Amino acid sequence: MSRLLAWFDWLPPSLASTLLLCAAALIALLFSRLITEALPRLPGLKRIASIHETIARLRNHVRLLLMIVAASAALPAATGFAPSTSAFLGHFFAFAFIMTIGFGLIKAFRFGTDKYLERIGNRAGVDDITVRSHKTQIRILRRLIEITVGVITVGAALMVFESVRQYGVSLFASAGAASLVVGLSARPALSNLIAGIQIAITQPIRMEDMLILNGDWAFVEEINATYVVLRTWDRRRYIVPIAYFLENPFQNWTHSSPSLIGSLFLWLDYQTPVDEVRRIFNEELAKAPNWDKDMSSVGCQVADSNAQVISIRLIAGAKDAGGMWNLCCDLRERMLKRLREELPQSLPRGRTAIVPGTPEEPAWPDSLLSPPINHPMSGGQYSGPDIRPKA
Mean pLDDT score, 37-65: 69
Q: Is residue 120 one of the residues assigned to a domain?
A: yes
Interval 219-237: pLDDT, tens: 888 888 778 899 988 889 9
pLDDT at 102: 87
Confidence of residue 47 (pLDDT cuts 50, 70, 90): low
Write the DSSP symbol of residue 40. G
Q: Which of 80-84, 96-100, 199-203, 372-376 has the lowest mean pLDDT?
A: 372-376
Q: Does 132 lie in the same domain as 102?
A: yes
pLDDT value at residue 176: 46
Domain count, the chain: 3
Mean pLDDT of the chain: 76
Sequence-distant (6+) residues with CB within 8 A of 24 are 1, 4, 70, 71, 73, 74
Both 236 and 264 in one domain: the answer is no
- 78 in any annotated domain: yes
Sign of CA dihedral 282, 286, 290, 294: positive
- Do both 157 and 14 map to the same domain? yes
Query: Between residues 124 and 102, which one has the greater pLDDT?
Result: 102
Q: Among 161, 178, 200, where does a domain finish?
A: 161
Rounded mean pLDDT of 139-149? 80
Tell me, yes or no, whether 269 and 340 share the same domain. Answer: yes
Percent of the chain with pLDDT over 90: 17
How would residue 265 be classed by pLDDT, with cut points 50, 70 and 90? very high
Are 122 and 12 members of one domain?
yes
Percentages helix, strand, coil for the chain, rounded to the nearest 5? 55, 15, 30
pLDDT recorded at residue 134: 75
pLDDT at 378: 47
Render 329-341 in DSSP notation, one character per residue. HHHHHHHHHHHHH
Which residues neighbour 383 within 8 Å (Cβ) at sequence distance 6 or greater? 375
Considering the domain architecture, whether residues 6 and 73 belong to the same structural domain is answered as: yes
4-12 average pLDDT score? 59
- Cβ contact 139:199 at 8 Å: no
Q: Is position 222 within any domain?
A: yes
Residue ending a domain, among 234, 252, 270, is 252
Find the domain containing 218 and state its range.
189-252
**Shared-domain flag, residues 274 and 244:** no
pLDDT at 387 exceeding the cut of 50: no
Decide if 154 is inside a domain: yes
Same domain? 77 vs 208: no
The 10s digit of each residue's pLDDT in 364-379 is 555 555 555 455 554 4
Q: Is the pLDDT of residue 346 over 60?
A: yes
Same domain, 222 and 274: no
Residue 286: give its domain's CATH number: 3.30.70.100
Is 365 inside a domain boundary? no
Looking at the fold, whether 219 and 284 belong to one and the same domain comes out as: no
Q: What is the CATH number of the domain that holds 203?
A: 2.30.30.60
Q: In the chain, what percentage of residues exceed pLDDT 70? A: 71
The pLDDT value recorded for residue 389 is 47
224 plus 304 within the same structural domain: no
Residues 329 and 193 in one domain: no
Q: Is residue 137 part of a domain?
A: yes
pTM of the model: 0.52
Under a CB-based contact definition with an 8 Å cutoff, are residues 323 and 290 in contact?
yes
Tell me whether residue 169 is in a domain. no
pLDDT score of 177 more than 50: no
* CA atoms of 140 and 157, how far apart (whole Å): 26
Of 308, 329, 346, at which residue does a domain stop? 346
Instruction: Please indicate, yes or no, if residue 379 is contained in any of the structural domains.
Output: no
Kindly report the CA angle at 76 between 70 and 81, in degrees rounded to 5? 110
